[in-house]
Amino acid sequence: MTKIKTLADLRKIKEEVQSKIKLRENSDHPEQVVQVKVGMATCGIASGAKETMKYFVDELEQQAIDAVVTQTGCMGYCYAEPTVEITLPGKEPVVFGYVNKDKAEEIIDVYIKRGALIDGIIPLAFRTIDD
């Protein structure tokens, strides 16, 4: 990585990353990518988020589903850990709670592969700084 030397450099990187993300979110090509974010703060990990993440990585690879699995911080829903956010191409992100291995399997089979929702999704009810 070359160092960011000016504010203009920083803006350029920001735009590059943003357009990369946009491309991923808005692509309507068959090779579109499913995004999986696993809440991996201490609370999530204590409830088994590492196993959940590993399961997603292994299972999606085995089933040849094109997906990006990443970790993120605490989403705040401690009562429902581990929590996972899934973004299907062209759709709003959906957050699932209590995602153990069985639930992860159900998410892959029902939501990721067929696009049908599953009981127990967590509705997001907060304002962000951009609202």
In the complex, which residues of this chain contact another protein (CB under 8 A)? 1, 3-7, 9-11, 13-14, 17-18, 21, 37, 39, 41-43, 45, 70-80, 83, 85, 97, 113-123, 125-129, 131
Q: Among residues 48 and 97, whose Cβ is nearest to another protein?
A: 97
Report, in Å, the least distance between residue 10 CB and another protein: 5
Is there a contact between 71 and 53 (Cβ–Cβ < 8 Å)? yes
Q: Among residues 62 and 127, whose Cβ is nearest to another protein?
A: 127
Burial class (CB in 10 A: 0-12, 13-18, 19+), 43: middle
Residue 87 CA to residue 24 CA, distance in Å, equals 10
**Token digits of residue 88:** 């299907």
Report, in Å, the least distance between residue 101 CB and another protein: 20
